[in-house]
Amino acid sequence: MNRHVLLLLAAAILWSLGGVLIKSIDLSPMAIAGTRSLIATVIMSLAMPAVLRKISWHVMPGAVAYAATVFLFVVATKLTTAANAIFLQYTAPIYIAMIGPWFLGERTSWRDWLLVLLALCGVGLFFLDQLSLQGLSGVIAALGSGFAFAWLAILMRRQKAESPEAVVLLGNLLTFLIALPWVFPILRIEENGPRLLLLGTVQLTIPYLLYSLAIRHVRALDASIISTIEPILNPIWVMLATNERPGIWSIVGGSIVLGTSLTRSVSRTYGRIGGSAKATRSMNRIPEQRGKNAKD
């Protein structure tokens, strides 16, 4: 399988640990969001100092989209059901399919639309028993989170020739500064500290760096579709930790999402292989054609 597709799948798996880790931390959502972004900012600044020099006004829109995604999702989770928040955030591929051709020049085919709708239906079936209109303001925030997440993918993709990592670094710094009033003091640090460290490194820093590497070589829409395994895996880890058992619709919906993600992953891989093979054959024909022309 394509290396960049594997990076996206790894990022989605690590992102999906967020639910079970956040539930284990006894702090307010804003404190958790700010602290994990602080950890990510420190790690990236120390491990990748060159990224600091690439921060400019050009990456600011992506950083704002990053912060908006984080905060709107926190607000949505607080004001409506977790199922609503996760499901509506993953309306992002619809926005990318509409905005991508205009903003990035990346065409959306009918096959892309089919995969987007399949993935969305799968996520909807997975949370069928939990979706509701409870907390209208939370539902609106969740829709906003999906829209912001779409712009984040698009703006990181637009930075493919520059530094998507700079978007992530500035986004984390911005998130921390906004959440600063809720961050300190960190309550029960001996208990929450190790979990926050795990959340900031394994669930946030590493997957976003993997995503930054992949988005240079994968269309924004493909990255979004492949990553739809994240909202399915997220509650699965919680189920395993709490001994909950999924219902039949959860199994059906999860299977559809995994199948859609796998389909796009495989098609990306073989599409690139096919394209490379055609290019190689074309290059091989050039010397042959030159030889024929020389004989003539």
pLDDT digit string (tens) for 122-161?
Answer: 767 766 655 565 667 777 888 888 889 889 999 998 888 8
Q: Residues 99-119: what's their mean pLDDT?
A: 77
The whole model's pTM is what? 0.77
Has residue 246 got a pLDDT over 60? Answer: no
Q: Residues 69-89: what's their mean pLDDT?
A: 74
- Confidence label for 115 from pLDDT (cuts 50, 70 and 90): confident
Judging by beta carbons within 10 Å of its beta carbon (0-12, 13-18, 19+), is residue 77 exposed, middle or buried? buried
- Confidence label for 224 from pLDDT (cuts 50, 70 and 90): confident
Q: Residues 215-220: what's their mean pLDDT?
A: 85
**CB neighbourhood size of 133 (10 A):** 9
pLDDT at 273: 41
pLDDT at 16: 81
Query: Which two tokens mark 142?
Result: 């969740």
pLDDT at 63: 93
Give the Cα-Cα-Cα angle 5, 7, 9 (nearest 5 degrees). Answer: 70
pLDDT at 283: 39
pLDDT at 263: 65
145 vs 226: CA distance, rounded Å? 18
| Contact of 225 with 95, CB cutoff 8 Å | no
Q: Residues 237-246: what's their mean pLDDT?
A: 65
Of the candidates 212, 205, 210, which has an alpha carbon nearest to the alpha carbon of residue 40?
205
Please report, to the nearest 10 degrees, the dihedral formed by the alpha carbons of residues 185, 189, 193, 194 taken in order.
180
Mean of the per-residue pLDDT values for the chain? 77
Please report, to the nearest 10 degrees, the dihedral formed by the alpha carbons of residues 79, 84, 87, 89 taken in order.
-20
H/E stretch holding 41: helix 29-47
Ranking 61-70, 92-101, 208-217, 286-295 by mean pLDDT, the lowest is 286-295
Query: Which two tokens mark 222?
Result: 């493909």
Has residue 206 got a pLDDT over 60? Answer: yes
**How does pLDDT run across 20-50, given as a tens digit for each residue?**
787 778 888 888 889 989 999 999 999 888 8
Q: Residues 200-217: what's their mean pLDDT?
A: 89
Which of the pair, 196 or 232, is modelled with greater confidence?
A: 196
pLDDT at 284: 46
pLDDT at 180: 92
Which of the pair, 75 or 285, is modelled with greater confidence?
A: 75
pLDDT at 155: 92
Q: Residues 241-249: what's their mean pLDDT?
A: 63
Query: Which two tokens mark 21?
Result: 């880790």
Q: Residues 205-211: what's their mean pLDDT?
A: 90
- Confidence label for 121 from pLDDT (cuts 50, 70 and 90): confident
27 vs 12: CA distance, rounded Å? 24
Of the candidates 94, 72, 92, 93, which has an alpha carbon nearest to the alpha carbon of residue 139?
72
Q: In terms of C-beta distances under 8 Å and separation of at least 24 residues, what long-range contacts does 241-250 make, across chains too?
A: 241/20, 247/129, 249/125, 249/126, 249/128, 249/129, 250/125, 250/126, 250/127, 250/128, 250/129
Instruction: Calculate what percentage of the chain has a pLDDT beyond 70.
Output: 73
pLDDT at 66: 92
Say whether 135 sits in a helix, a strand or coil: coil
Which of the pair, 164 or 249, is modelled with greater confidence?
A: 164
Q: Residues 244-269: what's their mean pLDDT?
A: 62
282 Cβ neighbours under 8 A, 6+ residues apart: none
Has residue 172 got a pLDDT over 90? Answer: yes
